[in-house]
Amino acid sequence: MGSGWRWLWFVLALIGASLALQAGLVAFAGYVLLGVLLLTRYLAKAWITHVEGSRECKAEPLQVGGSVDVTVKLKNTGTLPVGWLLVEDMLPEFALEQRPPRVNIKGRRITVLYIPRGKTKVIKYKITFAVRGYYQIGPTFVETGDVFGLHRRHRVLTEPAFVLVLPKILPLAQYEFASKRPIGEVRLANRLFEDPTRTAGVRPYQVGDPLQRVHWRATARTGELHVRVYEPTSLAGATVLIDFHADGYFSRGEPARSELAVTAACSIAHAVSLLNQQIGFASNGRDAAERIRAEALEKATPDEDDEEGFDTRDEARERFEEVAQTDRLRPVQVPTRRGYDQFEKIRESLARLEQTDGMTFARLVVEVASRMPKDATVIALLPRVPVETSVALGQLRRQGYAITVILIGLTDDDEPVAHGRLLAEGVRDVRHIRNEDELQALGERHAGGPSVYNVAITLA
């Protein structure tokens, strides 16, 4: 029971007692107080029910650092002016509480307004997104009531808008994640092209051979036309796996490490797509769109006339927990295949990816292994390497997959342990990045100079 009802019962009891005791002045005061209560209650209800809201916000995908202008219009459609209205345009708490903040706001999204009858008030502010993600803007929450604070009325106006901020793409100096396999180990699903940078030998000229293949030295030495023969390229695309379990990302290094993992995955997927190869993605993280839907279900408080609502809040919470548990145990995946829009699907999934504590990386490997082509290199981005993870990757290697592991920001103490566990399972292509500069030189550094694997042997 609200404070307004308590005051009402108190006033009625006061009037009844004063009439019984024949205290006319007290009864008159009770009548006045009762009139004030009824008037303020009427005004509070009239103010809140005659306010309409609308939102203007572009919901197109943005790059990191992009901005969006938000405009909220509130109109008083009643015959009375709204004395005061506290307005707050809601934003996700995680975006505001994180340090440094994920969003920067210019303008006022929380304010108090006086709205004359038939008039419209406008709230404008600008949001700049510093980190990729899937952001909910709105809805608009309004509150009003009488000047004595006896009656408070709340209402939610406007539909929320959703803005997708895409992860960054860094150019890789060289893509060197090719599947170097013995001939006959795996039958490739797609016919690959010859690599003009890798000469396998020469053969006599045949009708139809292009002139740029002619080997002039061999032709001059033998007196007959000879052409170069190139090795077939060993690149057959990649499937990128990201470990986004919350236990691997400590709060001290966040959000830098998780964002580095997403940037690395997006950059690798972009490099593979430019080579017109198949590319796929899977993660044990959570889709932000699913999280928002689950949170909306948790907060659902049905109206009295809503027959499809929940009888109690506990019932709604139990339903939410069931949905949340189901979503947590379902991997986020874009199947490995070729296609013009394949990279855009992966980039959008990476933009919405969030950490979760539901599925381990080892379980993720078991879930998606049957749907990954064996002619594509498995690139695993890991913030840590527990024994279960190394065993799962070792099992993939024994099944015929080519495995590359990229360690994300491991400490000097954890790195040798991670290398040792992976080496014990036969995973030899292991690399380590700590920042975006190392990411850009990832393939180049591994192709030339000492490999990270050799460094791990030295440390061991």
Exposure string of 141-179, with b = 16+ CB inside 10 Å and e = fewer, is bbebbbeeebbebebebbebbebbbbbebbebeebbbbb
At 384 the pLDDT is 93
Tell me the per-residue pLDDT of 285-296, one tens digit each, with 9 for 90 and over: 999 888 777 666
pLDDT band, residue 325 (cuts 50/70/90): very low
E-state strands within 313-411: 332-337, 353-354, 377-382, 403-408
Residue 148: pLDDT band (50, 70, 90) is: low
Residue 276 has pLDDT above 90, yes or no: no
Instruction: Give me the CATH topology for the region 51-166.
Output: Immunoglobulin-like (2.60.40)
Task: Note the pLDDT of residue 30.
Answer: 66
Is the per-residue pLDDT at 307 higher than 60?
A: no
* 224 has pLDDT over 80: yes
Q: Which residue did the predictor score with more confidence, 413 or 339?
A: 413
The yes-or-no verdict on residue 259 having pLDDT over 80 is: yes
Is residue 219 pLDDT above 50, yes or no?
yes
For residue 66, name the pLDDT band (cuts at 50, 70, 90).
very high
Q: Per residue in 347-360, pLDDT tens?
A: 999 999 999 888 89
Supply the pLDDT for residue 449. Answer: 36
The region, left, alpha or beta by phi > 0 then psi within -120 to 50, assigned to residue 184 is left
CATH class, domain 238-285+331-459, is alpha beta
Entry pTM? 0.73
Q: Which residue has the higher pLDDT, 174 or 298?
A: 174
Average of per-residue pLDDT across 192-208: 73
CB atoms within 10 A of CB 303: 7
Q: Rounded to whole angstroms, how far apart are CA atoms 364 and 146?
A: 56
Report the pLDDT averaged over residues 94-112: 87
Residue type, 17: A
231: confidence class by pLDDT, cuts 50, 70, 90: low
pLDDT for 235 beyond 80: no
Report the pLDDT value the prediction gives residue 274, as an integer from 0 to 100.
87
**What percentage of the chain carries pLDDT values higher than 70?**
73
Mind listing the pLDDT tens digit for each residue in 405-437? 999 999 888 999 999 999 999 998 899 999 998
DSSP structure class, residue 390: H
Contact 335, 345 (CB under 8 A): no
Same CATH topology for 51-166 and 238-285+331-459?
no
Backbone angles phi, psi at 128, to 5 degrees: -110, 125
- Domain residue limits, the chain: 3-49, 51-166, 203-231, 238-285+331-459
The string of pLDDT tens digits covering residues 3-18 is: 556 666 666 676 677 7
pLDDT given for residue 321 in this prediction: 47
Cα separation, 89 vs 69, whole angstroms: 13
Q: How confident is the model at residue 312 (pLDDT cuts 50, 70, 90)?
A: very low
